Amino acid sequence: PGLLLLQVRVAQVTHRHVLVLAEDLTGARRLEAVRRDFVVNVSHELKTPVGALSLLAEATVEAAEDPEAVRRFGTRMRSEAARLGQLVQEIIELSRLQSTAVPGDAQRVRIADVLGEAADRARTVAAAKEIEIVVGEDAGCEVVGDHNLLVTAVRNLLDNAVAYSNPGTRVGVGVRRLDDVVEIAVVDQGIGIGADDLERVFERFYRVDPARSRDTGGTGLGLSIVKHVALDHGGDVAVWSRPGRGSTFTLRLPLAPERAAAPAAIGPGR
Ligand code: ADP
């Protein structure tokens, strides 16, 4: 960090003119390092559920005579397999996001549609905890981007809000239109995040409390997906939180350019 890596090429054009080409390789190098880290992290993260599955399979074989134990191991295998499935799904999503700087399928997207779809999907899990998801007015905002990616981002924020909140609480989604930006805030009354963890939660595989996160089926990838979607759309994501009080995640996205105003109706000529 702070170091600039320049590749400089010099060519003698005429006897009095020299052409100097300087290319900044810092970005490329960093990207390469990020990719390498990612592969190391991924292999590490995959080993845990795979290891658990093979131990459980082993135990099942040995406990063949004991139906109660077989059932217990089977239940745990099911949840490890689900975890593995989610992990693989999110890894695929993330690597797809990392390989393109431009959203896959850019078109005008209505924020109301994104919030509606994300909330509908998150409500299934929320209902089981009697958590109500309340979506505010969207002020007719539109952005340019990929509808599905934006739904995934908001959905991840909502799933977290639900996962890290106590039953019977509320999760709110508020929309504000600032100059040329729309701000989507997902607000919960959950357990919150301590100051030390706050700046790290967007890192890949970062979990505040791996044990607790494992209970909720977390992979530590959700928020880095949100961050990538935000950056790919020219926006960003921020968090405010207080332990015991709740968290607010704010997704900011540039608004789509205004549609050209419809020409004023012209009366029949005389
Ligand atoms: P996970 O799959 O573990 O939820 P994320 O990347 O989505 O991974 O989140 C990283 C960590 O940030 C989580 O493990 C959790 O500890 C914390 N976190 C995320 N959202 C919230 C929230 N709304 N309230 C409290 N903690 C949260």
Q: For the residues of 209-231, what is the DSSP string, one character each?
A: SHHHHHHTT--S-HHHHHHHHHH
Overall pTM surpassing 0.80 (yes/no)? no
Q: Is 206 in the pocket of ligand 1 (CB under 6 A)?
A: yes
Q: Atom of ligand 1 at shortest distance to CA of 249?
A: 23
Q: Is 191 in the pocket of ligand 1 (CB under 6 A)?
A: yes
Helix (H, G, I), strand (E, B) or coil at 198: helix
Q: Atom of ligand 1 at shortest distance to CA of 165?
A: 24
Q: How far is the CA of 87 from the centre of ligand 1 (A)?
A: 15
Rounded mean pLDDT for each run of 10 residues along the chain, 270 residues in total: 70 78 70 70 82 92 93 92 87 74 72 96 93 91 91 94 95 95 97 92 82 62 90 93 96 89 56
The answer to whether residues 174 and 136 touch, using CB atoms and an 8 Å cutoff, is yes
Q: Is 160 in the pocket of ligand 1 (CB under 6 A)?
A: yes
pLDDT at 270: 47
Sheet containing strand 181-188, edge to edge, reads 132-135, 170-178, 181-188, 246-254, 236-242
Interface confidence: ipTM more than 0.95? yes
Q: Atom of ligand 1 at shortest distance to CA of 186?
A: 23
pLDDT at 267: 54
Q: How far is the CA of 208 from the centre of ligand 1 (A)?
A: 7
pLDDT at 258: 83
Q: How far is the CA of 213 from the centre of ligand 1 (A)?
A: 8
The rounded distance, in Å, linking the Cα atoms of 20 and 11 is 7
Say how many Å lie between the first and final Cα of the chain, rounded: 71
pLDDT at 210: 64
Q: How far is the CA of 207 from the centre of ligand 1 (A)?
A: 6
Q: Is 201 in the pocket of ligand 1 (CB under 6 A)?
A: yes
pLDDT at 187: 98
pLDDT at 227: 92
pLDDT at 201: 92
